[in-house]
Amino acid sequence: MALSYSAFSLARHALTGHRHWPRAWRDPAPKPRYSAIIIGGGGHGLASAYYLAKEHSITDVAVLERGWLGGGNTGRNTTIIRSNYLLEPNAHFYEFSLKLWEGLSRDLNYNAMVSQRGVVNLAHSDAQMDNFAYRGNAMRLNGIDAELLDRAAVQRLVPMLDYSDHVRFPIYGALLQRRGGTARHDAVAWGFARAADRRGVDIIQNCEVTGIRVEQGRVRGVETTRGFIAADKVGIAVAGHSSHVAAMAGLRLPIESHVLQAFVSEPLKPFFDTVVTFGVGHFYVSQSDKGELVMGGDIDMYNSYAQRGNLPMVEHTLAAGLAVLPMMSRLRMMRLWGGVMDMTMDGSPIIGKTPIEGLYIDGGWCYGGFKATPASGFVFAHTIAQDRPHPLNEAFTLDRFERGAAIDERGAGPTPNAH
């Protein structure tokens, strides 16, 4: 079993120049059969395997990842965590997730660098202030922290925004969730991987699932680039590739794949200690521990599996950013990249059973699945282990679209671009 990380082990390894740290997780060859297989070694797949082992004592589990751990959206996102949702199923689910984030580093014995620096949603009209008051009240009724800030309070908290009156989008106030913030994305994947491995889970990288074997309505295992692997239960957690992988079992999902990009500036001294979102222009920004501004905006607006950035979106996103943070005009941009998003038709995820016995799906995370990682793993593990949903994912069924039970947080209808 891997060593526990502690001040003592750090000091002991310092004496030998840090040359003898053991591997953080094993690199096993796939076995011919497992009780459960999770497809996808992102945060969600790894968290699901961890909670299967921890909460349900199911350790005969493999996570199959076609590339490297966290190489999908887990390692590509802008790391914002929050639970400032209006609708009941989302509010309870994401608040549970935030509570898990609050104890995650200790639970995993791995520093996930959770930073509760606050998430500020800017408002630019009276109507938007009313809307934020409504959402904030709903949050508070659900036991979630929320504060409505007037313009002066926003200015005290984030002084570097443009507060002049002649701008296109004057700042009227904001909705603040102080317990929201950021977490270190790679560390989340690595922490769950290490903790799952310590409980006996096999984590197998460079192993792409190429087929799902289904016989008489029941899953039997998966075809992979490293041969057939049998399993009683198979969970799909592949984010932007959900439709593609589900189609291997003959399922057609109400999901479209779109690219979302992230942008990083040159590093600056610490000056921006919250997360700010500018919904009207669709721009969000925080400052990383390295000093870089980490920014995101809209999806690319057309269906694509191209996991890369492009220049039109740099212009689109930074134009939105400059509308609220004009000091950025003097910054150099360092990097950009893209991730493939699994956009559902109501903007909420799908976590549950499929019509095929023993096959489960966790997907449809749209823009917001990073913050869901611990809760998603927790309830997906429960669903797989018990073959029924946890109360927190009961509403996120695959069949809700045909039943008309959509969870449409923004009231945007079946238009992924609007979510």
Ligand X SMILES: Cc1cc2nc3c(=O)[nH]c(=O)nc-3n(C[C@H](O)[C@H](O)[C@H](O)COP(=O)(O)OP(=O)(O)OC[C@H]3O[C@@H](n4cnc5c(N)ncnc54)[C@H](O)[C@@H]3O)c2cc1C
Give the range of 23-31, 65-73, 121-129, 327-335 binding ligand X by CB under 6 A.
65-73
72 binds ligand X (CB under 6 A): yes
CB-CB neighbours of 273 under 10 Å: 13
C-alpha span between 292 and 333 (Å, rounded): 9
Which of 37, 329, 278 has the alpha carbon at shortest distance from 158? 278
Contact 381, 199 (CB under 8 A): no
**Binding residue (CB under 6 A) for ligand X from 60, 102, 208, 394:** 208
375 binds ligand X (CB under 6 A): no
**Binding residue (CB under 6 A) for ligand X from 42, 173, 347, 352:** 42
Where in 248-307 is the site for ligand X (CB under 6 A)?
260-262, 296
**Binding residue (CB under 6 A) for ligand X from 100, 108, 193, 245:** 245
C-alpha span between 64 and 207 (Å, rounded): 6
Q: Which is nearer to ligand X, 5 or 316 (CB)?
A: 316
What is the closest distance, in whole angstroms, from the C-beta atom of residue 154 to ligand X in the complex?
21
**Burial bucket for residue 359 (CB in 10 Å: 0-12, 13-18, 19+):** buried
Q: Which is nearer to ligand X, 129 or 187 (CB)?
A: 187
Residue 79 β-bridge partners:
none
74 binds ligand X (CB under 6 A): yes
Collapse the DSSP code of 308 into the 3-class scheme (helix H, G, I; strand E, B; otherwise coil) and give the result.
coil
**Binding residue (CB under 6 A) for ligand X from 25, 365, 380, 396:** 365
CB-CB neighbours of 12 under 10 Å: 12
The interaxial angle of helices 373-386 and 185-198, nearest 10 deg, is 30
Q: Which structure tokens are listed for 44? A: 């969600």
List, as one string, the DSSP characters of 211-237.
EEEEETTEEEEEEETTEEEEEEEEEE-
237 binds ligand X (CB under 6 A): yes
41 binds ligand X (CB under 6 A): yes
What is the closest distance, in whole angstroms, from the C-beta atom of residue 6 to ligand X in the complex?
28
67 binds ligand X (CB under 6 A): yes
239 binds ligand X (CB under 6 A): yes
Cβ burial 381-409 (10 Å sphere, 16+ → b, else e) = bbbbbeeebbebbebbbbebbeeeebbbb
C-alpha span between 191 and 257 (Å, rounded): 28
Give the range of 59-67, 137-145, 161-169, 193-201 binding ligand X by CB under 6 A.
59-67
77 binds ligand X (CB under 6 A): yes
**Binding residue (CB under 6 A) for ligand X from 238, 246, 350, 384:** 238
What is the closest distance, in whole angstroms, from the C-beta atom of residue 90 to ligand X in the complex?
12
**Binding residue (CB under 6 A) for ligand X from 54, 58, 65, 352:** 65
Q: Which is nearer to ligand X, 5 or 380 (CB)?
A: 380
Contact 175, 121 (CB under 8 A): yes
**Binding residue (CB under 6 A) for ligand X from 89, 368, 374, 389:** 368
Give the range of 29-37, 60-68, 173-181, 197-205 binding ligand X by CB under 6 A.
60-68
DSSP strand pairing (181-182 vs 147-150): unpaired
Q: Which is nearer to ligand X, 83 or 105 (CB)?
A: 83
C-alpha span between 259 and 76 (Å, rounded): 11
**Contact flags string 315-354 toward ligand X, x per CB under 6 A:** ------------------------x-x-------------
120 binds ligand X (CB under 6 A): no
Which of 393, 360, 400, 399 has the alpha carbon at shortest distance from 376? 393
Binding site for ligand X (CB under 6 A): 39-45, 64-67, 71-74, 76-80, 208-209, 237-239, 241, 245, 260-262, 296, 339, 341, 365, 367-371
